[in-house]
């Protein structure tokens, strides 16, 4: 989908378009969900169990899918994933991560202005 088609298709208030930095196609546009929470959450995950991470941000069972994406005009689907090793994992709830479903600290860059990050000596 071209950038222009995305801009026509999605209403302004729900538009969150990013060029995927990990894509081999430089023009690939990734539509991201609405912000559920501005911070991630640690979740205890079991090995080899399939989980569905909410990518649209509309689920009431964050960070997991509850089927609410069916009313999402952007057509975002949950991200299914498993982990090889049981343990606590930091899952994204801001839906802006570039490493779905895991938090990659994009929420810090997005919600904390650079001047404040510098003042607090937060290095990314
Ligand atoms: S909560 Fe989304 S990147 Fe950290």
Distance, CA of 90 to CA of 6 (rounded, Å): 30
In what helix (H) or strand (E) does residue 111 lie, and over which residues does it extend? helix 106-111
Phi, psi of 43 (to 5 degrees): -130, 135
Distance, CA of 56 to CA of 95 (rounded, Å): 7
Q: Given this model, what pLDDT does residue 109 score?
A: 87
Tell which atom from ligand 1 comes closest to the C-alpha of 99: 3
Q: Given this model, what pLDDT does residue 62 score?
A: 97
* d(CA 5, ligand 1 centre) in Å: 27
Is residue 32 lining ligand 1, measured as CB closer than 6 Å?
A: no
Testing ligand 1's pocket by substitution, the residue of 106, 109, 110 carrying the most ligand atoms inside 8 A of its CB is 106
Q: Given this model, what pLDDT does residue 42 score?
A: 97
| Contact by Cβ (8 Å): 55, 16 | no
Longest dimension (CA), the chain: 43
pLDDT in tens, 7-42: 444 443 333 444 444 545 556 677 899 999 999 999
């Amino acid at each position: 989908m071209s950038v222009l088609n995305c801009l026509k298709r999605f209403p302004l208030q729900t538009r969150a378009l990013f060029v995927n930095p990990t894509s081999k196609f430089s023009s690939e546009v990734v539509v991201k969900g609405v912000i559920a929470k501005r911070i991630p959450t640690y979740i205890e995950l079991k090995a080899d169990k399939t989980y569905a991470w909410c990518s649209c941000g509309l689920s009431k069972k964050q960070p997991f899918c509850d089927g609410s994406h069916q009313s999402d005009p952007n057509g975002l689907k949950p991200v299914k994933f498993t982990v090889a090793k049981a343990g606590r994992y930091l899952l994204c709830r801001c839906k802006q991560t570039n490493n779905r479903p895991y938090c990659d600290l994009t929420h810090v860059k997005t919600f904390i202005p650079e001047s404040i990050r510098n003042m607090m000596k937060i290095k990314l």
